[in-house]
């Protein structure tokens, strides 16, 4: 009886082994395996195409952002950003005054007006220092301004520097370009 059980087990194993596909020679593949590989390759290609499409969408979105920034810079040159600029919690203006503490009575200096931008900044004889401060603080966590506002500030700074003044008209010009 034990021999019969062993023979039955051997026959069962041989029968199930016969149901298994035979080993293929090296370098050849079965039709089922080739079909599965082809489907995997097609899926990989489709995924790659989808990724390429997403990359293009991202590029299009970036281009849209660049167009907005360019529009804001163009608006800044005209004196208005068409509502695109959002300066966040700050008012990006500067002031010019004569005779501040530690200065001679006839010596004019510039300072940011907004308290958040002013924090830690001393007055400066050169308006570019203060305009840099204003634009830099817009770009930080201080104000939370959008990119259009930052571009408008930088454009205003460039126009003021091109004017070459260092008096009250400098502050007036900058303020008119960022408001």
Instruction: Tell me what percent of the residues of the chain surpass a pLDDT of 70.
Output: 54
pLDDT value of residue 74: 41
pLDDT per residue as tens digits for the range 77-104 = 444 445 689 999 999 999 999 999 999 9
Predicted TM-score of the model (pTM): 0.54
pLDDT value of residue 148: 96
Strand, coil or helix: 97: strand
Cα angle 104, 110, 113 (rounded to 5 degrees) comes to 125
Query: According to the per-residue pLDDT averaged within each range, which of 21-35, 74-88, 107-121 is highest?
Result: 107-121
Confirm whether 27 is domain-assigned. Answer: no
pLDDT value of residue 132: 97
Confirm whether 112 is domain-assigned. Answer: yes
Confirm whether 45 is domain-assigned. Answer: no
73 or 151, greater pLDDT? 151
Q: How many domains does the chain have?
A: 1
> If you average pLDDT over every residue of the chain, what do you get?
73
Greatest alpha-carbon pair distance for the chain in Å reads 121
Nearest alpha carbon to residue 148 among 62, 90, 83, 60? 83
6 or 135, greater pLDDT? 135
CA-atom Rg of the chain in angstroms: 36
pLDDT value of residue 59: 40
Confirm whether 119 is domain-assigned. Answer: yes
Name the residue with tokens 């259009």: 148
Confirm whether 114 is domain-assigned. Answer: yes
pLDDT value of residue 155: 97
CA distance 122 to 27: 78
Q: Which stretches of the chain are assigned E, i.e. beta strand?
A: 94-98, 108-112
pLDDT value of residue 40: 52
Q: How confident is the model at residue 139 (pLDDT cuts 50, 70, 90)?
A: confident
pLDDT value of residue 115: 97
Contact 111, 94 (CB under 8 A): yes
pLDDT per residue as tens digits for the range 44-88 = 454 444 444 444 444 444 444 433 444 444 444 444 445 689 999
Q: Which domain does 102 fall in, by range? A: 51-179
Confirm whether 160 is domain-assigned. Answer: yes
Confirm whether 147 is domain-assigned. Answer: yes
Is the pLDDT confidence value at 157 over 90? yes
Confirm whether 115 is domain-assigned. Answer: yes
């Amino acid at each position: 009886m034990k021999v019969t059980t062993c023979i039955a087990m051997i026959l069962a194993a041989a029968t199930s082994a016969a149901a298994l596909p035979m080993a293929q020679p090296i370098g050849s593949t079965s039709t089922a395996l080739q079909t599965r590989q082809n489907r995997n390759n097609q899926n990989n290609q489709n995924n790659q195409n989808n990724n390429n499409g997403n990359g293009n969408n991202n590029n299009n979105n970036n281009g849209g952002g660049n167009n907005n920034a360019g529009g804001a810079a163009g608006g800044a040159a005209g004196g208005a950003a068409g509502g695109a600029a959002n300066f966040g919690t700050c008012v990006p203006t500067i002031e010019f005054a004569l005779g501040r503490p530690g200065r001679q009575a006839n010596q004019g200096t510039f300072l940011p007006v907004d308290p958040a931008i002013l924090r830690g900044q001393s007055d400066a004889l050169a308006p570019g220092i203060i305009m840099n401060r204003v634009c830099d603080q817009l770009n930080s966590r201080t104000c939370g301004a959008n990119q259009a506002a930052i571009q408008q500030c930088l454009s205003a700074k460039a126009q003021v520097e091109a004017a070459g003044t260092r008096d009250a008209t400098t502050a007036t010009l900058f303020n008119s370009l960022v408001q």
